[in-house]
Structure formats: C-alpha cells, structure tokens
Amino acid sequence: MKVELHAAFQSRTARSERVIKVAEAFGLGLEDREFTVLDKVELEVKPGDVVYICGQSGAGKSVLLRALAEKLAEAGQSVANIDAVDLDLHKALIDQLGGEGLAEAIRLLSVAGLSDAYLYIRKPGELSDGQRYRFRLAKLVEGGADVWVADEFGAVLDRVTAKIVAWNLAKVARAHGKTLIVATTHTDLLEELAPSLMVTKRFHDRIKIETNDVD
C-alpha cells in the first residue's frame, strides 16, 4: 500500500536568562519556528517487505518509523512494536514461547539468535540487555502481527550477532508475508536484511529512498 508521511514540529524556546545569553552570543534567533522532518514522503510498503531506515542521530529515523507504523495501523494492519513486547520477568524463556510445543519455542528462540540451551532455562531478568532484546524479538515473531517494528534495531548487540539476527528475522518476515521495519544508525546490515526499501534519512526534510523489488 502507498502511504504519504508528513511530520513537522514547532520549535518554541523558553527564554531563560542563559538561553538569551547564548542566543545573543551565537547570533541565534529565538522566534517560534516550524521545522519539517518529513515533507510528504511517499512510500509503498507491501506484505513481505523489509524496510531499512538509516541515518545519523537526530536525522528523523524514529519520527519516520512511527509515522509509517501509524499509517499502516490506520489502514487496518496489526502492528507490533518491539518496545511494547510484554515479558514475564520471572518465568523461564522456554516457558514463555511456543504454547505447548517445545520445538516451536526452540525454533522461535533460534530465529532471534538465542541458541544456547543454558539460556532457555533462564528468566528474562537474568539476561543481558542484548539477550533480552533477542528474546523480545522472538516474542515479536511469535505474536504474528502483520507488521514488525523495531527502532534502534540491534543497537545493544555486537555486530556479528546483529547481522545473524537481521538475516534470520528478514528471512522469517519474508517467508510469512510480514512487513519488517527497522531503524538504526548502523549501515552494516544491508546484505543481511536485503531490504526492499532502503530509506536514508538526512537532516531537515531530506531523504533518500531506494527500492529493490525482488519480484
């Protein structure tokens, strides 16, 4: 489906004594202004697409990701965000996935890059941040929403693990016709994600959109 994204913010500065001093010293205006992050950006996203949003810190990746997720939700698709995944901190990982099936639980954990049996029997509260992140991904995949959204994708993972997880996740998303949308400042996951849509957000309203239709 085609979406058009727009995002602009008012920049209103509180005029404290220090703010006024800084403004005078550096010749900055303090008038209220609107700044645009997304200026009628047109994207086409289909089930099975992987959307890779890159760009420097502050360029507008999160704004773009949220705006896109919102449009897809408005269009009736179920959208699951990794930040909203619910974990039971006091229950072993293996007991929180796959319903009755142990094999399914193990499959979901390995998709998310958790393949060590000693971790299966740990609780989320006993994991490292990166391990917990991967467990969230396993839950996200299990949830079966139409759209999987992950901001700061793989940020807490070493780059080898990030690549493995990216490759697995993109493969599973494509196989099940899910839309995977990730945003990260890291540009090293191109090969693993093989995105259908590569969006490089630049400062202000600048943006570069590259499509790679495999079908």
Question: Residue numbers of the site for Mg ion (CB under 5 A)?
Answer: 61-62
The answer to whether residues 197 and 49 touch, using CB atoms and an 8 Å cutoff, is yes
Q: Which is nearer to ligand ATP, 124 or 148 (CB)?
A: 148
Kind of pairing, strands 179-183 and 50-55?
parallel
Residues 65-104 touching ligand ATP, rule: CB under 6 A, are none
Residue from 50, 61, 108, 207 touching ligand ATP (CB under 6 A): that is 61
Quote the least distance from Cβ 158 to Mg ion, whole Å: 20
Q: Which of 5, 37, 41, 189 binds ligand ATP (CB under 6 A)?
A: 37
The string over 88-115, giving b where at least 16 C-beta atoms fall within 10 Å of a residue's C-beta and e elsewhere, is eeeebbbebbbeeeeeebbbbbebbbbe
- In order, the DSSP letters of 135-177 are HHHHHHHHHT-SEEEETTTTTTS-HHHHHHHHHHHHHHHHHTT
Contact between 185 and ligand ATP per CB under 6 A: yes
* Of the candidates 51, 49, 55, the residue with the CA atom closest to the CA atom of residue 186: 55
Helix (H, G, I), strand (E, B) or coil at 68: helix
Q: Is there binding between residue 60 and ligand ATP (CB under 6 A)?
A: yes
161 near ligand ATP, judged by CB under 6 A: no
Radius of gyration, alpha carbons of the chain: 20
Residue 114 touches which member of Mg ion, ligand ATP, none, C-beta under 5-8 Å by kind: none
Binds ligand ATP by CB under 6 A, chosen from 31, 57, 86, 160: 57
Which amino acid appears at position 201 of this protein? K
By the 8 A CB rule, do 38 and 6 touch?
Answer: yes
- Residue closer to Mg ion by CB (options 61, 134) is 61
Among 51, 54, 55, 111, interactor with ligand ATP by CB under 6 A: 55
Which tokens sit at 74?
């408005």
| Residue 132 contacts ligand ATP per CB under 6 A | no
Among 13, 23, 48, 62, binds ligand ATP (CB under 6 A): 62
Smallest distance from ligand ATP to CB 23, Å: 18
Q: Shortest distance, CB of residue 64 to Mg ion, whole angstroms?
A: 9
CA distances from 117 to 45, 92, 128, 130 (A): 37, 12, 15, 16
33 binds ligand ATP (CB under 6 A): no
Give me the residues that bind ligand ATP (CB under 6 A), please: 9, 37, 55, 57-63, 185
